[in-house]
Amino acid sequence: MDVVVVYRANPESLQKVLGLLRKEGFNPTTLENPGSADALHGGGRATYVISIAVPRSEAAGAESILRKWDKARQSEVNKMTGKLAGPFLFSVMAVGVLALVLLLLGILWDAVALLAVAWITVFALAANAEKIKLKTKGSKRR
C-alpha cells in the first residue's frame, strides 16, 4: 500500500491527530521518523516526532482536515497570548517604576534579585486578576 506522510506529531498530540483523522473517515498509520530514535536517546522526548501517513488517495483530504485543525489550534494560542499582552506590559512598567525608586534610593544594585521576583509576582497577579476576582466574589457569598 502506497502511503503519504501528512503530519509529524509529538507523542502528546499523536492520539488526538489519529482520532481526528479516523473520525473523518481516513485510515491513518504511524511511521517512526528514522531520526527520532537518536533524539529520544540523546535529546529527550521533546524532539521525538512520529510521522502520520495515510493512503495516497486520502492524502489531499487528510491534509485539508489537518490544516483546519492546526488553524483552529493556532487561533486558540493567539487568543491566549493576546490576553497576556496587557498584564505583561503592566508588569514591565510596574517593575520599571520600582527600579527607578530603588535607583533614587541608591539601593538598586543591592536589590536586583528583588526586581525579578517583583516582576514574576506582578505578572502572575495581573494575568490572573479576573480569576482572583471571581474567586474572592465566590468566597464572599458563602
Same domain, residue pair 62 and 84 = no
For residue 137, the one-letter residue type is: K
| CB of 48 closer than 8 Å to CB of 36 | yes
| CB of 85 closer than 8 Å to CB of 38 | no
Other C-beta atoms lying within 10 Å of the C-beta of residue 41: 9
Which ranges of the chain have pLDDT less than 50? Answer: 34, 37-39, 41
Same domain, residue pair 92 and 64 = no
> Model pTM greater than 0.75?
no
Same domain, residue pair 57 and 105 = no
Coil, helix or strand for 32? strand
Q: Which residues pair with 9 in a beta bridge?
A: 50
Predicted pLDDT of residue 47: 62
Same domain, residue pair 94 and 41 = no
| Domain-terminating residue out of 72, 97, 126 | 72
Predicted pLDDT of residue 34: 46
Q: Which residues pair with 50 in a beta bridge?
A: 9, 32
Each residue's pLDDT tens digit, 86-102: 888 888 888 888 888 88
Q: Which of 1, 5, 13, 48 is nearest to 30 (CA)?
A: 5
For residue 55, the one-letter residue type is: P
Name, in order, each residue with C-beta under 8 angstroms of 59's C-beta and a sequence gap of 6 or more. 4, 6
Same domain, residue pair 38 and 68 = yes
Predicted pLDDT of residue 24: 93
Sign of the Cα torsion 7, 23, 74, 91 reads: negative
Predicted pLDDT of residue 135: 75
* Joined grid coordinates for residue 69: 485543525
| Domain-terminating residue out of 72, 88, 111 | 72
| Domain-terminating residue out of 31, 51, 72 | 72
Same domain, residue pair 57 and 13 = yes
Same domain, residue pair 21 and 46 = yes
Coil, helix or strand for 28? coil
Predicted pLDDT of residue 64: 93
**What domain count does the chain have?**
2
Please give the residue range of the domain that contains residue 27: 3-72
- Say how far residue 30 (Cα) sits from the centre of its chain: 24
Same domain, residue pair 8 and 66 = yes
Name, in order, each residue with C-beta under 8 angstroms of 123's C-beta and a sequence gap of 6 or more. 87, 88, 91
Same domain, residue pair 85 and 56 = no
